[in-house]
Amino acid sequence: MSAGFAALSLLIIAAAFWVVTLKDLFRAALSLGLVLIGVAIAFLSLGAEFLAFVQILVYVGAHLTLIGLRGHAYYAKLQTGPEQASRPRLPAALAALAVFGLLTWATYSVPLAGHAAKPSPLIWPALGQQLVTNWFCPLKWFP
C-alpha cells in the first residue's frame, strides 16, 4: 500500500469520525463531504473513473444538498424554539467503530482474488444460451 493511499485512508477515517462526533450539523455535513470526496479520490486512484464520477455526482452533490436543506430547517427550528436539540455523541462513535471493525474483519476474511479459482471460460457461452432460450420468457417481462 502506498503512502499516499494510506494518508488518504486516514483522512477518510478521521473525517468519518468527525461526522459522528461533531455536535454542529453543518460541520458534520462538511465532514461527510470530506469523506465522500476522499472516497471519490480513492476510486480515481484505483482506476474506477466512472465510480468516482457517480460518487461526486450522486453522493456529494445530492446528499449534501439534502443535508444542507435539512440543516437550514434544523437551525430555523433552533432559533424559534427554546429547547436545544442534542445528538448522542458517544453511542454514535461506538456504533461507527463497531461497523468499521465488522467491515474490516469481513474484508480481511475474504481470500485474495489472485488465489481464487478462476471460472472456466466455457461457462459464458452456455450461460448466454440458457438466457436466450430457457430463461427468455421470465426475463423479458423485467425491463
Global model pTM greater than 0.85: no
The pLDDT of residue 133: 76
pLDDT tier at 118 (50, 70, 90 boundaries)? low
Q: Is residue 100 part of a domain?
A: no
Q: How many domains does the chain have?
A: 1
Secondary structure percentages of the chain, helix, strand, coil, to 5: 80, 0, 20
Do 41 and 57 meet the contact criterion of CB atoms below 8 Å apart? Answer: no
Q: Which of 58-62, 68-72, 75-79, 108-112 has the lowest mean pLDDT?
A: 75-79
List the end-to-end C-alpha distance of the chain, in Å, as a whole number: 41
113 found inside a domain: no
Residue 71 lies in a domain: yes
More confident residue, 74 or 133: 133
- Domain with residue 31: its CATH number is 1.20.120.1200
Boundaries of domain holding 30: 1-87
pLDDT for the residue 75 = 59
Question: What number of other Cβ atoms are within 10 A of residue 68's Cβ?
Answer: 14
**118 inside domain:** no
pLDDT tens for each residue of 70-87: 766 655 565 555 555 566
Tens digit of each residue's pLDDT (9 = 90 or more) over 36-49: 999 999 988 888 88
Per-residue model confidence (pLDDT) at position 104: 84
Average confidence (pLDDT) over 48-57:
86
The pLDDT of residue 90: 85
Residue 140 falls inside a structural domain? no
Residue 34 lies inside a defined structural domain of this protein: yes
DSSP string, 43-93: HHHTT-HHHHHHIIIIIIIIIHHHHHHHHHHHHHHHHH-SSPP---HHHHH
- Is the pLDDT at 50 greater than 70? The verdict is yes
Which residue is it, cell 482506476? 47
For residues 4 and 16, what is the distance between their CA atoms, to the nearest angstrom?
A: 18
Whether 93 is covered by a domain: the verdict is: no
Q: Is residue 96 part of a domain?
A: no
| 101: pLDDT strictly greater than 60 | yes
Q: How far apart are CA 44 and CA 62, in angstroms?
A: 20
Measured CA distances, 91 to 71, 112, 133, 140 (Å): 22, 34, 54, 48
